[in-house]
Structure 1
């Protein structure tokens, strides 16, 4: 119930609708309260009662994921924080410790959609452009300390990025691809998530590529996944503004894709 009220309060902030003549409720405060209560109960149930309350835990997982993907009002001191990246990684990490619960397959839908996109070395498109910029960094660049992490993540995104040039995707495939996009976040290695949390420039560029490709798929899947429509454009814009002019070449493709798909929330 708290998860439902969290998401409801979130959207009532976007479209206020007062049903009484009195003062309008503080939906932001209500969102924070119900979100805290939902996470507290979810954590306990996922660790202790997942087997006996599978339907409730599964439904709550989705609702909290929807909320994490819809949140835009990040802390000003951490302009590129991504709550969904952190939350979606939490689910598989818990599932890995609950083998008895996951063997029946009911929870696998949270992290393993039927369609799976493997790692591929990019040879063209935005992935190849990213690799070219990475390969032309000075040999003494501090960024090269994390080169292996960057390469692994961009290779994991290669096929996702290629979908941004596909024009003949069927609706059913679009749904599966979007599920894969969420799965990508859930399987990000801790090292990459830490780099994003530290506002590492190249890690943020990779995240911007991810959201730009997601924006394209969302633009092709109109009327669905409404809870994710604002996030991609917001993240690409926020990351670009934070990195500044020095990173214009790195951010050229993500920014261009967001301009191409336009404002998804107005569709």
Structure 2
């Protein structure tokens, strides 16, 4: 019998572990091989030997060079957030190990337009991303959240690799929260800005995930997601209350001062007058609950007056951004409880927040969040309260029409 000699071929001994387990030839492409990219698998080439800075489990070990040492405490951190579980289709990457994807995420955060909203100040030489990055290099929890936020943005701009980037976004944020929640961080002059920025990025991250979940989430549960997102602002509020004067002295103080000066003017306005009267005459709310709802409306009246032309203190979009960031941080815990209890008057006050959200709808961070919020409030309100939603809906229609 004639035997045909087997054609010789070069074995891919340096191929990724995924291709080896699948018994297919690996092209050894970097940062991830072609087979893994096509099949949306997590390629083992994404792991290298360089480590991202993390907090040592042994408090007596040597600190990571260039990163401040912080004493651990068994007390829990007040800021806690549980991100979605990573996809079951991809193995969990070793987030504590730096690789080429991390480098890509870092570069993307530095030089792309992640924050595609104009800053509330007029200084083109001072960009927010480099300033955040400068702070993040000294605080591992912030650095990991920076990379997570960058990965989330890349999942939109590179949809072909969306699954991989979202997997990284989840893993990096989980790692960031593990570091932050494992420490009891006392706010001081050195770390106040890092904690504030971390809290702020978490709220934006949560808002993005809330909007993303709209396609699969029940409209009834969507309101809970919005409320959870807003509750994260309480962490921002706590840091601001404790260390505002210290933050004004930081390198980002120029932006905070600009925000403060723009919001100093308090116009009483008339947009919320009817709803305030309704709340004041409520037969079911006690006096403290009435005051809580009215304060929430007072804090958004500045925004409503500004976009209506009553107060010219910058562009309407910048005004919307300030309201977007500041209003959830101003409302108190009692208001959150009224929302959780589905109190109609509190839900109506919350519906006014849909207006600044809608004005920022061109941003990848916000998109149709305003419309989703209003829809979710409507399904939780008894029919007799629906007429109160006519005005915020009308305002949103005017914004869409450019009126």
- Is the TM-score greater than 0.5? yes
Number of the residue aligned with 1:229: 367
Q: Secondary structure at the match of 1:227?
A: coil
Task: Identify the match of residue 4 of structure 1 among 146, 154, 163.
Answer: 146
Task: Assess if the C-alpha contact under 8 Å between 2:320 and 2:357 holds in 1.
Answer: no
Number of the residue aligned with 1:253: 391
Distance 1:96 1:61 in 2: 14
Confirm whether residue 64 of structure 1 aligns to residue 202 of structure 2.
Answer: yes
Residue 171 (structure 1) shift: 5.8
Can you give the 5+ residue segments of structure 2 that lack an aligned partner in the other structure?
1-142
Residue 100 (structure 1) shift: 7.8
Confirm whether residue 116 of structure 1 aligns to residue 254 of structure 2.
Answer: no
Task: Assess if the C-alpha contact under 8 Å between 2:300 and 2:323 holds in 1.
Answer: no
- More RCO (CA 8 Å, sep 6+): 1
Task: Assess if the C-alpha contact under 8 Å between 1:45 and 1:57 holds in 2.
Answer: no
- CA 1:46–1:100 in structure 2 vs 1: closer, same or farther (change >3 Å)? farther
Confirm whether residue 38 of structure 1 aligns to residue 176 of structure 2.
Answer: yes
Residue 121 (structure 1) shift: 4.6
Distance 1:179 1:59 in 2: 15
Residue 192 (structure 1) shift: 1.1
Deviations 1:136-158 (A, max 9, x none): 54xxx223552121222222222
For residues 112-151 of structure 1, what are the structure 2 equivalents within 5 Å? 113-117=260-264, 121-122=268-269, 124-125=270-271, 127-135=272-280, 137=282, 141-145=283-287, 146-151=289-294
- CA 1:197–1:32 in structure 2 vs 1: closer, same or farther (change >3 Å)? farther
- CA 1:41–1:173 in structure 2 vs 1: closer, same or farther (change >3 Å)? farther
Give the number of aligned pairs. 250
Task: Identify the match of residue 203 of structure 1 among 338, 346, 354.
Answer: 346
Q: Secondary structure at the match of 2:177?
A: helix
RMSD over aligned Cα, in angstroms? 3.8
Distance 1:40 1:49 in 2: 18
Residue 18 (structure 1) shift: 2.6
Distance 2:292 2:191 in 1: 37
Is the radius of gyration larger for structure 1 or structure 2?
Answer: 2
Number of the residue aligned with 2:232: 87
Residue 209 (structure 1) shift: 0.6
Task: Assess if the C-alpha contact under 8 Å between 1:115 and 1:177 holds in 2.
Answer: no
- Which has the larger displacement, 46-55 or 176-185? 46-55
Deviations 1:16-67 (A, max 9, x none): 6235xxxx73665544333222233345678258644567556544432321
Q: Secondary structure at the match of 1:143?
A: coil
Distance 2:241 2:325 in 1: 17
- CA 1:17–1:89 in structure 2 vs 1: closer, same or farther (change >3 Å)? same
Task: Assess if the C-alpha contact under 8 Å between 1:237 and 1:255 holds in 2.
Answer: no
- CA 1:197–1:11 in structure 2 vs 1: closer, same or farther (change >3 Å)? farther
The structure richer in helix per residue is 1
Confirm whether residue 192 of structure 1 aligns to residue 350 of structure 2.
Answer: no
- CA 1:113–1:232 in structure 2 vs 1: closer, same or farther (change >3 Å)? farther
- CA 1:169–1:40 in structure 2 vs 1: closer, same or farther (change >3 Å)? farther
Residue 253 (structure 1) shift: 1.2
Distance 1:28 1:44 in 2: 24
Distance 2:208 2:299 in 1: 24
Distance 1:147 1:227 in 2: 32
